[in-house]
Structure 1
Amino acid sequence: MADTSRSSLNHHHPLPPRRYIRDNMNAVSPSTTSRPYRSKSQRPCDRCRRRKTVCLIQAEGSSCQSCLKAQQPCAFEMPPTKRQRRTLDTQKRIETRDEQHGPGVASAEGVALHDTPTGLAGLAHRDVTTTVPVQSSPSATTPQAQSHRDLQYRDAHCTPTNPEAHAARILSAMETTGLPYASERRHRTHPHAGTPSNQTTTSYPVQYVRSFEQMEAATAQLCGMSAELDPWLLRHCKFDEYGMRGLQNITCRNVGGVPVQGLVPVHFIVTDNSLIQQDEHRSSDESRRRRMLEDLVPMSHGVRLISLFMRFVQPMLPIVSRSQLDRQLSENTVPAVLLAAVYASAIPYIAHDHVLFALPAMSDSLAETLWGMVVDWIQCDAHKPKLAIMQASLLYLQRLPLRPHRVLADTAARSSFLGSTVALAMSLGLQLESQPWGIPTWEKRLRRRLWWALYMEDKWTGLLMGRPPMIQKDEWDIFDLKEADLELGHRASFDVESDPNTSQDGVIFVFFVQLAGQVEKIQEAFYTLRASQRLAEDFRASVDAARPIRESLQAWYYSLPEELRLRSRAEGQSYRDHRQGVAVLHFSYLMLELFLYRAILRPLARSPPPPPVTNEEDESDSQSDPFFAHGLSSTWLLDDLTFESLEFDQLPDAGFAEFGEAAEVALNAAERCAAILVNFVASLVPQDFDVHWYPWTRICFATITSFITLLFVQAPTSAHAARSRELLKRWSLHLRSQHKTNEGLMTLGLLRLHSLQVEELDGLFSLSPSALELLSESRTKHGHVACEGAT
């Protein structure tokens, strides 16, 4: 009994979508039990046959819906394809399998596993749920499932070339890897409501692969763990071979999987777009959008922009499927919102294309026009999420601000947009590992890359802005990104000539994702509210907390392959082979070192005493203040604070000696970290900026300014004050120099530097005695020189 109940609880891996209600399919009655006959004279057009989609012709003599949408005429010139016959070896294996275990074994297409034993073995440790069992008897097929099966069967993404041979091949792989299900779980007894003895044997039929993106007229959204449709209830549904089950005006899709313990049931709720309320004042017509885009960027120029995007942006942010983009370009079906975002992202690199560079229209104003269209279309389609909307949203987040907004680290609008992008990802189920799902392999890889791109954006933005990240670690379970997830595949029509710097397109992204994991550790350890309250005045605890993170950071650094390392020339100058993104990668790593030392420095100096707080209202109201709720008297705020004994603009003695040599070591290391960053930025060459820099890196330059200023403000000795002041001067020199050619990245850092001029710091901050003494000597010296010059 224990085994039976346990197996039934682990029984379903849920989540798939579907759209089947089409205008001219309403005539199919729910009571229909047989497939409607289709005469050979009514065969689908050539385009629908190539795409393996349903060919829907509204009226005799007109084109089908698919061709009308693509603005192409219907053609019926392709000869009928020959049926593939089962090989003798495959037939024998299937017959042997059926004799031993009976029919009904799920195929790899059905469980959406990789076709190799390695891919199957990789699931053994995961919490994978099972495909929902379906009664194998033909008489048990419901009319809705049969009707849906007829409509969907011709979909290329759903139908394996030879399902039986594929099932046998995967069965053999399962048995080789020892994955539970291949032998002991081919059939499962399901207790019905009532007595435990009332059981029937059910089998696991083939579940065909189908892409979520193929549902053009429907929207799929994840059914969460606590949703009103309980996933643990839905797992008991009887799904068809596509994992679909109709529930009146919606459809539930089970994404399939294998019965390995652990993964939760995953289902998607698929809704026809006609049922979703749309804004009548905004047009969501795809053909109209495409015409608008074509008017701005002709396709001949668009292909060149796509080539630039693939060369400069895709390696750093591989969120576009090359194979699918190539196919969609040939069929003129690329979503306009994605195409506009790709165009806008590529415009900053038109100097590398002699044709585009000579066009006056290719300017920043065109990019802003395109970005305006992108954000408008994203908001218009927010009610029907697709991967293309997610891709466009991530690209929009990479947009550098215009000149008036460069003085701000971030805006509330951008933070809200990031939040909506995270919500979109959750609706699409990107936070769940799609390895066992019944979707194409390219879509699994793309979903994984989209998730990690969003994860990286959220973690870095949260750390640099001092805000809690929106993605919580208990709410996702995606596999680590591997180089296999970034394979290029076949050469695409938009590919440029082979470039040694892009030969491993996107591999560097794997290391950026790993570094984002270190970002999460640092923020959790030091920069959450609770962590800051606990460690801000505890030097020893801060060092102890930093030690394992520092070791993890260094382990990451030593794991870098040779082509992603920095080298030095014989003459000692910094040298790089200009492999794309190496400078950004190392700059990001150094920034995390900075954040570690910044946290360690907090306990090394006490904060200035707060001034007395007065209340213009009745002082009796102060008893309701939280400070006094714990028995603190009003004199607590004024303890040892008198206008006669202490000046408010004076920082108390740091009490540096009480920390001993460890504090001196930490301070020297922090100064060295700042010096390394200053020298690193000074050594950057134009080729280092000839790649996509993530928008959060612009905040890093301002963070360096603040860090060096902190070293000077709380310098405990004259030697430390002199070193930190020299760092500020050198940083000012190099930042101004780099700003001339990289205004978008450097403006915020330079602005912060101008607002913190060294000679005026005593007017802004309560400086340490050593820093004050150094400033005083500097002013005296400059004043003496000025007097000598006047005489």
Structure 2
Amino acid sequence: MAIPGAIITEAETQVSVGRKYKSRKERPCDACRKRKICCTRDAYEKDCSLCKTRGETCKYVLPPNVRRNRHPSARQRASTSSASPTTSTIPPRPVQPRSNVKPEARSSTSPSGEWICQFVGLSGDQDPFVLRHCAFNHLNCYKASDWAILKIKGDGETPLHFTVVPDSHLDARPDYYPTTDTEAVVKPYGEVLLRTYFDVIHVSYPLLDPSRFNSEPETGDPLLAVMYNLAAPFCQDSPPVFSQLSDFVHQALPIEKCHPRLETIEAALLHLQRHTTIHRSPTLPGLWSDIGSVVGMAHDLGLNLDPSTWSLSSSDANRRIRIWWALYIQDKWSALGLGRPSYLNDEHCSVPLPTIDNFSHTGLNNFPLSLQPALQFIAMTHLTTILTDLLNTFHTLKSIERIKLLPIPLLYSILDDFQARLHAFHEEHLCQLYNVNTLLDSSGSVILAFYTCEIVLFRAVLRALPMQHPGYVEC
């Protein structure tokens, strides 16, 4: 989650945080310089602590001291650095082509106008119940010299905050970041690959908003690189796979995960949908650990929180909801298929189930978009909540022991409850997906998932029944 530097800069003018020890942004007063002691001022105070003790007013008349034996070029660099203003615009995140990128341009010490957010947890060392007492400005921002706090909630309810630090402090683009010119790799197929993605992939997995991709693409974007590779097998004009894009994504995503943005999680989720080119194992190598990494990024950005009451545009709030539920679906079904404990706990989630309003109704170039992809995604989220309860009831280490101790009638009662929920899901969501007359019908995945849930339910009950019980044969 990135915050424009303009917001932080404006917040800085609204909130005074005093002078910090050895701050180079504010010069010390003459009295402190003579005594060679630290010149500190509290917030909203005009005079430093020394001058207040003496009953004097801070003065700034003496010229700056000249350091001896200092190289002239070093002084010139220092003056240039101190005179450069804080950038107030977000530079494009994607890298430039390799031929145009200079080493100094990719240095992690270069100034950046982008600030990266991290959610402040309730049990962390930065207690949100303490942070709420900061002197927030009209933008709900408290700005210090090298970090800031954004207040999401806090008046009369549980406080929610994001800490914000400059992109440059995170070594966001180190020298070893890959500089592949992704647009040159797919040229001249970039436009047709993007169109193929939204014609084929998007109808099955409506994670993205097509309107975001109507502008000229930036090279070096991991999200676009993943989209191109997913679309390539379905594009008749292009090669079936771009190995350079695959190498770029495998190198870029681990770096991006250290300072994630929403685009990072979208790229990671789409990357999990890729097909293996060489089938050595039933699943993608490292799939479960990759999902855990995406879960960690989502929690860093607070995606497990309901954004509907935040000061966000509807498109941004809808985007956060879609990303969270796409991750929820990925986590639960992968946990089932791999026999792993889920990373996600519903006790730490307040995101509402998605509705049709959370999806874009226009495709590329603002063409009308069918509601079918959104209805399929919504159905999958509802079915996944049933799967979650199935896993918690029958497939945790402790629940297996509890199920063994249940009376048989109670076990049948649990079976009836799940069957009733599955039947209600079928009537509410699947029936409207059966009558699809489009060429690319992607509803089969939801229908297959529904019958998978039924099989998982009967298999779990069958395991809990004694072999000599009459119901064992019936199941």
Tell me if TM exceeds 0.5: yes
The answer as to 2:348 corresponding to 1:463 is: no
What pairs up with 1:573-588 in 2 under 5 angstroms?
A: 580-588=441-449
1:475 aligned to which of 348, 372, 382: 348
Structure 1: which amino acid aligns with 2:270?
Answer: L
Task: Show the 5 A alignment for 1:136-285.
Answer: 217-256=114-153, 264-277=158-171, 280-283=174-177
Q: Look up the match of 1:546.
A: 415
Task: Check whether the contact 1:564–1:579 (CA below 8 A) recurs between aligned residues.
Answer: no
Q: Which amino acid aligns with 1:528?
A: T
Match of 2:382 among 514, 537, 542: 514
Q: Structure 1 pair 18/238, CA: closer, same or farther in 2 (3 Å)?
A: farther
Contact 2:332–2:384 under 8 Å retained in 1 = yes
Q: Identity rate of aligned residues, in percent?
A: 21
User: Residues 188-247 of structure 1: CA distance to partner in whole angstroms, max 9, x if unpaired?
Assistant: xxxxxxxxxxxxxxxxxxxxxxxxxxx952211111111211111122222222221113
1:527 to 384, 390, 395: 395
Residue 310 (structure 1) aligns with: 198
Partners of 1:19 and 1:251 within 8 A in 2: no
Which residue does the alignment assign to 1:732?
A: none
Q: Could you tell me how far 1:523 is from its partner in structure 2?
A: 0.4
Which residue of structure 2 lines up, in the alignment, with residue 106 of structure 1? none
1:445 is aligned to: 318
Report the CA distance between 1:560 and its aligned residue.
Answer: 2.1
User: Based on CA coordinates, which of the two structures has the bigger radius of gyration?
Assistant: 1
Displacement after TM superposition at 1:416 (Å)? 1.0
Q: Deviations over 1:22-49 (max 9, x none)?
A: 8xx9998699x9xxxxxxxxxxxxxxxx
* CA distance in structure 2 between the aligned counterparts of 1:537 and 1:577, rounded to whole angstroms: 50
8 Å contact kept, 2:94–2:221:
no
Q: How does 1:666-681 map to 2 (within 5 A)?
A: 666-667=474-475
Quick one: distance in 1 between partners of 2:438 and 2:209?
Answer: 28
Letter in 2 for 1:442: S
Secondary structure class of the residue paired with 1:363 = coil
From the superposition, tell whether residues 234 and 17 of structure 1 become closer, same or farther in structure 2 (CA, over 3 Å).
farther
- Mapped pair 1:389 → 2:389: no
Contact 1:16–1:253, Cα closer than 8 Å, also in 2? no
What does the per-residue CA deviation read over 1:694-735, in whole Å, with 9 as the maximum and x for residues that have no partner?
Answer: xxxxxxxxxxxxxxxxxxxxxxxxxxxxxxxxxxxxxxxxxx
**Structure 1 length-normalised TM:** 0.45
- Select which of 456, 467, 472 maps to 1:595: 456
1:338 is aligned to 2:213 = no
- Measured at CA, do residues 514 and 334 of structure 1 come closer, stay the same or move farther in structure 2, by a change above 3 Å? farther
CA distance in 2, matches of 1:216, 1:516: 40
Residue 304 of structure 1, CA deviation: 1.5
Instruction: State the 1:252 CA deviation.
Output: 0.6
Tell me by how many angstroms 1:336 deviates. 0.5
Structure 1 residues 538-581: Cα deviation after superposition (integer angstroms, max 9, x where no partner): 654432322211111111111026540269xxxxxxxx765632
- Which whole-Å deviations, capped at 9, do the CAs of 1:379-405 have from their partners, x for residues lacking one? 122222111101000001111223333
Q: In 1, Cα distance between the equivalents of 2:26 and 2:212?
A: 36
**Residue 375 (1) aligns with residue 250 (2):** yes
The 3 A distance-change label for structure 1 pair 340 and 249 is same
Residue 594 to residue 266, structure 1, CA distance change in 2 (3 Å) = same
Kept in 2, the 8 Å contact 1:459–1:469? The answer is: yes
Equivalent of 1:348 in 223, 227, 233: 233
Q: Structure 2 vs 1, CA of residues 544 and 461 (structure 1 numbering), >3 Å: closer, same or farther? A: same
2:364 to 472, 492, 513: 492
Distance 1:561 1:663 in 2: 30
Distance in 2 (alpha carbons) for counterparts of 1:268 and 1:66: 21
Change in 2 beyond 3 A, CA 1:304/1:241: farther
8 Å contact from structure 1 (residues 302, 343) kept in 2: yes
The alignment partner of 1:255 has SS state of: strand
- Pairwise CA RMSD of aligned residues? 3.5
Q: Is the 8 A contact 1:16 1:269 kept in 2?
A: no
Does the residue aligned with 1:429 lie in a helix, a strand or coil? Answer: coil
* Amino acid of the structure 2 residue aligned with 1:558: E
Q: Secondary structure at the match of 1:518?
A: helix
Mark the CA change 1:217 to 1:348 in structure 2 (over 3 Å): closer, same or farther: same
Distance 1:543 1:464 in 2: 25
Secondary structure of 2:207 counterpart: coil
For the Cα contact (< 8 Å) 1:17–1:252, is it kept in 2?
no
- The structural deviation recorded for 1:508 is 1.2
Instruction: Mark the runs of 5 or more structure 2 residues left unpaired by the alignment.
Output: 14-22, 28-40, 45-82, 97-111
Q: Tell me whether 393-402 or 424-433 shows the greater mean CA deviation.
A: 393-402
How far, CA to CA, are the matches of 1:68 and 1:542 in structure 2? 54
Cα separation, 1, equivalents of 2:412 and 2:115: 54
> Contact between 1:309 and 1:342, CA under 8 Å: does it hold in 2?
yes
SS in 2 for 1:560: helix
Deviates more, 1:588-597 or 1:554-563: 554-563
Q: 2:30 — aligned with what?
A: none
Partner Cα separation in structure 1 for residue 246 and residue 92 of structure 2:
29
Aligned pairs, number? 390
CA contact (8 A) 2:177 2:251 kept: no
Please show how residues 3-14 of structure 1 align to structure 2 within 5 Å. none
- CA shift in 2, pair 1:216/1:302, >3 Å: farther
Please say if 1:399 is aligned against 2:260.
Answer: no
In structure 1, what residue type is equivalent to 2:245?
A: L
Aligned to 2:306: 433
Taking the aligned partners of 1:559 and 1:68, their CA distance within structure 2 comes to 42
Q: List alignment gaps of at least 5 residues for structure 1.
A: 1-14, 34-57, 72-214, 351-356, 568-575, 606-653, 668-791
> 1:317 offset after TM fit, Å?
2.1
Task: Tell me if the contact between 2:295 and 2:343 (Cα under 8 Å) persists in the aligned partners.
Answer: yes
Structure 2 CA distance, aligned partners of 1:216 and 1:563?
47
Paired residue for 2:189? 301
How far does residue 493 in structure 1 lie from its aligned partner after superposition?
Answer: 2.4
Equivalent residues of 2:4, 2:114 under 8 A apart: no
Distance 2:346 2:90 in 1: 44
Matched-pair contact (CA < 8 Å) for 2:265–2:297? yes
1:559 counterpart letter in structure 2:
E
Which letter does structure 2 place at the counterpart of 1:392?
A
Which amino acid is the alignment partner of residue 397 of structure 2?
L
Mark the CA change 1:561 to 1:529 in structure 2 (over 3 Å): closer, same or farther.
closer
Structure 2 CA distance for partners of 1:277 and 1:481, relative to 1, 3 Å: same
**Contact preservation (8 Å) 1:525, 1:545:** no
Contact 1:16 1:244 survives alignment (8 Å)? no
Quick one: which amino acid aligns to residue 485 of structure 1?
A: N
Q: Which amino acid aligns with 2:383?
A: L
Measured after TM superposition, the shift of residue 273 of structure 1 is: 1.6
Aligned partner of residue 218 in structure 1, secondary structure: strand
The answer as to 2:204 corresponding to 1:320 is no
**Shift, 1:488, TM fit:** 1.9
TM-score by length of 2: 0.73
Superposition pairs of residues 572-721 of structure 1, within 5 angstroms: 580-604=441-465, 654=467, 656=468, 659-660=469-470, 662-664=471-473, 666-667=474-475
- CA distance in structure 2 between the partners assigned to 1:346 and 1:433 by the alignment: 32
Find the counterpart in structure 2 of residue 89 from structure 1.
none
C-alpha distance in 2 between matches for 1:68 and 1:545: 51
In the alignment, residue 273 of structure 1 is paired with which amino acid? D
Q: Is the 8 A contact 1:17 1:269 kept in 2?
A: no
2:434 counterpart (565, 580, 587):
565
Q: Which amino acid aligns with 2:361?
A: L
8 Å CA contact retained: 2:91, 2:113: no
Aligned residue for 1:470, secondary structure, equals: coil
